[in-house]
A = this chain, B = another copy of it.
Amino acid sequence: MTVAQDTADTPRAVVLFSGGLDSTTCLAEAAADGCECHALSFDYGQRHTAEIEAARRIAAAMPHVADHKCVTIDFDGMGGSALTDPAIDVPETATNGIPPTYVPARNTVFLSIALGWAEILEAEAIYIGVNAVDYSGYPDCRPAFIQAFESLASLATRAAVETGRGVAVRTPLMELSKAEIVQRGAALGVDYADTVTCYQADAEGRACGRCDACRLRRQGFRDAGIADPTRYR
């Protein structure tokens, strides 16, 4: 695929991209919207090198992805989540309320850094793959949170002050079920074989098949009627 319009007219977007099912679909949505995509990953102690390598391969293989950065954050032992604190177990049965895999203020941090990069790139939008399935559990996946961040962005940057232009936060998956996300991604040509969703993937990026994220993903393929290409260990 090539970008149809002149590069100068192509809107730029920063796309939060973990290499998982949702964010890979979100990246495909941003490309389908005609954006020049700048994929942004984070390594905050949660990821195996194999997952970051997989994210790099996926981003490199997708059309309209101009570049991909991976920001590393060392929280100096703050802990607070099963994803970053070895003392907290990742649950393997369904949990009520906000699960222990919740990372305090994670999307606020991710969106903030995306905002900085968007300002540098003069990007007009940030894409984030939050959706209705997640927002039942995570506070920072809700539409009200996203709207509040957009309001903040309209005050936070040089561009906002000098030109009145803020940055739009787009959530193309917000209203979709996991099955609809899979169907939408498949229609956009996404290859999910390399995407890693599992909270505790092994060093080769193979999924456990038991954590919350694995269960939601597996059910999504089943409900979508699409063969699950996930590599389980």
Cross-chain contact B73 with A73 (CB below 8 angstroms)? yes
Q: Mark A83-127, 1 if CB is under 8 A from B, else 0.
A: 000000000000001100011111111011101110110000000
Size band of the A side of the interface? 35 or more
Instruction: Choose, from A146-154, A179-187, A198-206, the stretch at the interface.
Output: A146-154
Cross-chain contact A148 with B139 (CB below 8 angstroms)? no
Cross-chain contact B158 with A98 (CB below 8 angstroms)? yes
Cross-chain contact A139 with B156 (CB below 8 angstroms)? yes
Cross-chain contact A72 with B76 (CB below 8 angstroms)? yes
Residues of B within 8 A of A161 (CB): 98, 139
Cross-chain contact A157 with B104 (CB below 8 angstroms)? yes
Known contacts A104-B119, A148-B151, A158-B102, A72 near B74 by CB under 8 Å: yes
Cross-chain contact B71 with A76 (CB below 8 angstroms)? yes
Q: Which residues of A131-164 have CB atoms within 8 Å of chain B's CB atoms?
A: 139-140, 142, 144-145, 148-149, 151-158, 160-162
State the main secondary structure of chain A at its contact with B: helix
Cross-chain contact A105 with B115 (CB below 8 angstroms)? yes
For residue A80, CB closer than 8 A to chain B, the reply is yes
Tell me, in angstroms, the Cα distance from A112 to B111 when the chains sit together.
9
Known contacts A98-B161, A103-B116, A139-B161, A152 near B78 by CB under 8 Å: no
Q: Which of B105, B117, B149, B153 contacts A116 (CB 8 A)?
A: B105
Tell me, in angstroms, the Cα distance from A93 to B21 when the chains sit together.
50
A24 to chain B, nearest CB (A): 19
Q: Which of B144, B158, B162 contacts A104 (CB 8 A)?
A: B158
| Most B CB within 10 A of own CB, among A72, A76, A153, A162 | A76
Cross-chain contact B104 with A115 (CB below 8 angstroms)? yes
Cross-chain contact A120 with B78 (CB below 8 angstroms)? yes
Residues of B within 8 A of A112 (CB): 105, 108-109, 111-112
For residue A57, CB closer than 8 A to chain B, the reply is no
Tell me, in angstroms, the Cα distance from A153 to B148 when the chains sit together.
9
Residues of B within 8 A of A162 (CB): 97-98
User: Which A residues have a C-beta under 8 Å from some C-beta of B?
Assistant: 69-80, 97-98, 102-109, 111-113, 115-117, 119-120, 139-140, 142, 144-145, 148-149, 151-158, 160-162
